[in-house]
Amino acid sequence: MARKAIFITGGGSGIGRATARHFADQGWFVGVADVNVQGIDETAALLPEGASSRHVMDVRDRDQWQAALAEFAKASGGRLDVLFNNAGIGSGGQFVDMPPAEADRLIAINFGGVVNGIYMALPLLRATPGSAILNTGSASGFYGVGGLAVYSATKFAVRGLTEALEIEFAKYGIKVRSLMPGFIDTPLLDQVSADSNEPARSRLAASGFEISPVEDVAKAAWDAVHGDKVHVPVGKMAKRLSRLARFFPGLVAKQSKKVDGLGTAAH
């Protein structure tokens, strides 16, 4: 029997790269997909020989999805045990200052890319017993965050899609899960917003927000596809927000206002 296989979008850096390394260390075959060729090559170089395939693709393009998954299936022996919809962008800033074209891009990649991936991968997932879909959400999908309005909205959409498809796909034996990380130590935190020349990393630290290592998300990804929880918060902040959003939404609103203006995404 062919070894288990995972296809990871956004695999050229950050969460995708860390997850690729974690699953490869467990003996899985990894499809590394990204728009960044250099990033793909750098990730693949960190994986064991013969443990990965490379796929240059844009998650907004269903034809590219189809071609990449066909190549992946040939390399994986026809298996797709986990589809990891991880690709995303993290534009922030006040809603009135965000160009509509940038809002369109956020929606198309962060949510449309997930929808496209599920549509295109479903035949392979249904043909692989015990398969799973894992979507990268965000702690900002628990409660809307000022300065991240459109980004938060895309993560709410990912959360809702995950919950609905967990119900719908049960009859196919396919798990549907989401990761809900807080602020993660990736290059996104080095971005500088239009209203400040200080990186978001520094402003988060000054405000007392926890920044979790990317390896924590990779471990959570493993736990998510092997566990029973639909949503898996990552980091103390995300776990706290998950509880507060359920029972004390007013407190979450106050904490969210502290993030307003940071101009960067939660992961």
Pairwise CA distance, residues 124 & 206, whole Å = 46
Decide if 151 is catalytic: yes
CA distance 251 to 8: 35
- In the block, tokens 């396919």 appear at 174
Sign of the alpha-carbon dihedral angle for 232, 236, 241, 246: positive
Given the residues 119, 143, 151, 172, the one annotated as active site: 151
Catalytic residues: 151
